[in-house]
Amino acid sequence: MKVIYLDNNATTKVADEAVEAMLPYHGSLYGNPSSMHTFGGQVHAKIEHAREAVAKLINADPSEMIFTSCGTESDNTAIMSALQSDPEKKHVITTRVEHPAVLNFCKTLARRGYDVTFLPVDKSGRLDLDELSSAITDNTAVVSIMYANNETGVIFPVKEIAEIVKSRGILLHTDAVQAVSKIPLDVKKLPVDMISVSGHKIHAAKGVGALYVRKGTRFSPYLIGGHQEKSRRAGTENVASIAGFGKACELAEQYLREEHAKTRLLRDRLEQGLLQSCPDARINGDRENRLPNTTNISFEYVEGEAILLRLNEDNICASSGSACTSGSLEPSHVLRAMGVPFTAIHGSIRFSLSRYNTDEDIDIVLDRVPKIIKELRELSPYGR
């Protein structure tokens, strides 16, 4: 039975072209890119080619890109670098709806004695920019606010955020893991100091990411060791995954506009169909300012885990929130921050699409989900 994969915010299918780009570095081209001989030098050249491709996707200079192991490392590195670069400042500002890579890292910083402000959001998942401005103090070292939310797809006004933060002379980091390749991002028009990117969210392999660091930004490396990445990130590079990452970025640039339009149409058809066929269903998040591939729907009076289990029986993959918090019985911290009612928060499902999804996929989901919701409500003590 065909797998219908609607969990692309958790991870994406590795593009065939990216797999092909990776294969030589799992075989004949095994040289160390830091070696002085020609055999290793050709491997180093491929890393630089990939760096150019990643940089081009966000209109950055290749020298501003640092390869990492994942988005989490990029996030942790950016925040810690800001704190280490100005150790007298002990204040960090973030939001209550960040990915765990930022949220839990900031909670750890708070336990270590740092002052952390977790900004709230409204019922649509939007940030109050006046609250952000009021939170900045002379002790603020860095502001870290995501570009787009991984659970709801809500897009934050990063340009406006940057104008506020930079006017106060504060470093700004944004986790753009979910935004890159789904919407245009141009660092020449966006005065952000550091941006996190992840390969497996854009049809590259797991285990590779990047951190954009704007020229002139004070930077302190997180991993200390060798001279790799111009001494900004120690450790022998994951060459195969970096090669695939570069190819995935080339494809993302090629398909950006087409994928944006296609996934939005499929997402809207899925969303409208479910709202019409499932009573007591609601969309979570700002329906205007969000990623084109993401919808978060609450089906009241049922448990999201039960929905996912039933979908899984039909080979339909979706999510109840962030993949990094799956297995937890706690309701989504994002939806709690938005004040989603108790009757709806436990029945929330995230559907996230990619360019590989089809109309047939949506047809099957629209056929199965209403039946599943009806059956589960009939079994539920809270059912209608």
> 51: Cβ–Cβ under 8 A, 6 or more apart, which residues?
62, 65, 67, 246
138 in any annotated domain: yes
Q: Given 181, 216, 251, which residue is the final one in a domain?
A: 251
Same domain, 49 and 189: yes
Same domain, 211 and 283: no
For 272-319, what is each residue's pLDDT tens digit?
999 999 999 999 999 999 999 999 999 999 999 999 999 999 999 999
Tokens of 379: 């079994």
Same domain, 157 and 75: yes
Same domain, 26 and 158: yes
Q: Given 220, 251, 282, which residue is the final one in a domain?
A: 251
Same domain, 300 and 231: no
Q: What is the CATH number of the domain that holds 143?
A: 3.40.640.10
Within 13 A of 287's CA, how many CA atoms are on the CB side? 8
Same domain, 40 and 113: yes
Predicted pLDDT of residue 273: 98
Same domain, 230 and 347: no
271 in any annotated domain: yes
Q: What is the CATH number of the domain that holds 344?
A: 3.90.1150.10
Q: What is the pTM of this model?
A: 0.95
**Cα(242)–Cα(342) distance, rounded to whole angstroms?**
43
Same domain, 264 and 205: no
Spacing of C-alpha 77 from chain mean position: 16
324 carries an active-site annotation? yes
Predicted pLDDT of residue 261: 93
306 in any annotated domain: yes
Same domain, 203 and 168: yes
Quickly list H helices, 314-356.
Answer: 333-337, 342-345
Predicted pLDDT of residue 328: 55
Same domain, 275 and 165: no
Instruction: Cite the beta strand spans of 48-139 per DSSP E.
Output: 65-68, 91-95, 115-119
- Counting the structural domains of the chain, the total is 2
Catalytic pick from 70, 278, 317, 324?
324
Q: Given 223, 251, 279, which residue is the final one in a domain?
A: 251
DSSP letter for each residue of 283-298: E-S-SSSB-TTEEEEE
What is the pLDDT confidence band of residue 193, given thresholds at 50, 70 and 90?
very high
Same domain, 85 and 179: yes
Tell me the sheet residues that pair with 194: 173, 213
Same domain, 211 and 140: yes
On whether the CB atoms of residues 304 and 346 are closer than 8 A, the answer is yes
For 333-358, what is each residue's pLDDT tens digit?
999 999 999 889 999 999 999 999 99
Other beta carbons within 10 Å of 186: 10
133 in any annotated domain: yes
357 in any annotated domain: yes
For 63-116, what is each residue's pLDDT tens digit?
999 999 999 999 999 999 999 999 999 999 999 999 999 999 999 999 999 999
217 in any annotated domain: yes
384 in any annotated domain: no
DSSP letter, residue 155: B
153 in any annotated domain: yes
What value does the mean pLDDT take over residues 183-210? 97
Domain with 201, as residue range(s), is 18-251
Judged against a pLDDT cut of 90, whether residue 127 lies above it is answered with yes
